[in-house]
């Protein structure tokens, strides 16, 4: 089902289902491989695989990033922490 068909289907569903369909449509449109979500049960693997998308828990996603690019992830986290202003956060 192309993104426009998913968007058309949104009007037929409740707000919670509509939200899920919109997130799926956005992922398809962006050609995303992964939807990062705490609500894995909302995105069944079989349904997502039809669109070439999979759902991952945030912990699994971040661990995968750390395993693949540890230096880049650590640098990014340090930079993000250093940019915090209120409250100030120590980065060392």
Q: Which structure tokens are listed for 81?
A: 């922490």
Residue 21: name the closest of 34, 8, 6 by CA.
Answer: 6
pLDDT at residue 33 above 80?
Answer: yes
pLDDT recorded at residue 50: 87
* Structure confidence at residue 9 as a pLDDT band (50, 70, 90): low
Which three-class secondary structure state does DSSP give residue 31? coil
pLDDT at residue 2 above 70?
Answer: no
Q: What is the pTM of this model?
A: 0.68
Q: Which helix (H) or strand (E) holds 82?
A: helix 70-83
What is the mean pLDDT of the segment spanning 44-62? 89
């Amino acid at each position: 089902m192309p993104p426009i068909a998913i968007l058309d289907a949104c009007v037929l569903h409740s707000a919670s289902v509509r939200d899920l369909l919109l997130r799926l449509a956005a992922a398809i449109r962006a050609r995303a491989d992964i939807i990062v979500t705490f609500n894995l049960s909302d995105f069944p693997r079989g349904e997502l695989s039809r669109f070439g998308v999979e759902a991952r828990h945030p912990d699994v996603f971040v661990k995968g990033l750390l395993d693949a690019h540890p230096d880049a992830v650590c640098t990014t986290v340090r930079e993000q922490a250093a940019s915090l202003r209120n409250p100030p956060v120590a980065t060392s």
